[in-house]
Amino acid sequence: MLFKKKKNEDEYIEEETQEETQEEVQEESQEESQDKTQDKTQDKAQDESLDETKDAETENTDSEDESSENQKKKKKKRQSDYYDRESYLNMLYEENEKAEEEKLKKKKKRSYDDEEGGQDYDDVDEEWLTREEKRERKKAAKKKKKEENRVKPEDVNIVRDLLNIIIYIGIVIIFCFLILTYVGQRTSVHGSSMNPTLEDGDNLWIDKISYRFKNPQRFDVIVFPYKGDSTGETYYIKRIIGLPGETIQIDVNGNIYIDGKYLDEASSGYNFDQISYNLIGVAANPITLGPDEYFVMGDNRNGSRDSRWADVGNIKKSDIIGRAAFRITPFKKFGNFEK
């Protein structure tokens, strides 16, 4: 029995020792694991610190490289600026030397030419010239300019110039035609049928345009063709007495009646000679004018061939060339002559 008990005690002891060893092993494993984790964290921290140091080193190297490059560029720029400044100064110096040499050459070149009787100073600066030389230079420049402005023979286009002249003449002819046809023209008085108002040789301006807008009025002086001339080159100038639709008659005493009423010319400012009995003509009998007919007479009543005679007769409006507007010559009588 004792032996068995002892044995149990030994087993118990062995069990305790085994438990202790197991606990020690567990503790050691835990310590090892903790050490490993600590080592890992330390290694990781070391790696991170190494990476940071590397990044910092690379940044430092990059900034150092950039700064060195900038310094090199600045140095090169300073060198180039220096050389440019030196070259610019050298260039200015050379230009000044050339200018001085040119001045000296021009000064030496200034001399008198005995054969031409003048002075060769065309290329000399103004500052080296006297007043007379400056005047002569200005004259020479003006002469040269005139010669340059002259038209060279080869620059003249004959066909083009002739065409321009023809066009110009055509325009002038058309303009004159329009004026003479529709506006007016000059005419001369021949004879004494309009004395004392108009005299032989007077030059008149005939207004052709006014009767296009209004009808002729009593006492207007008009120009019309003489129908007794087959050539159509003879024109009469007379004064209107009777208007369209009126009845004209002249009595034995030479008095004029219109529609049975005496025409008092003196009250209208006209003072003409009394008509002689033997010059009454066809007007001794009443003459009724048509809707476009006019009865005309000359101011020299006893020396005029007018509507009192059958070869002249009544004047139609379509036959009237125009109204005598004013006298051109003689100049002492220039102007209006209606009365």
Which residues belong to the active site? 193, 238
Question: What tokens were used for 247?
Answer: 């009845």
Spatial separation of the C-alpha atoms in residues 207 and 202, rounded to whole Å: 16
Distances from the Cα of 120 to the Cαs of 123, 125, 147, 226, 332, in angstroms?
8, 12, 20, 81, 65
Apex CA 72: angle with CA 67 and CA 73, to 5°?
100
Spatial separation of the C-alpha atoms in residues 96 and 183, rounded to whole Å: 76
328-331 long-range Cβ contacts below 8 angstroms, 24+ apart: 328/186, 328/203, 328/204, 328/205, 329/202, 329/203, 330/202
Distances from the Cα of 152 to the Cαs of 146, 148, 159, 200, 273, in angstroms?
12, 9, 16, 55, 71
State the DSSP code for 116.
T
Spatial separation of the C-alpha atoms in residues 238 and 193, rounded to whole Å: 8
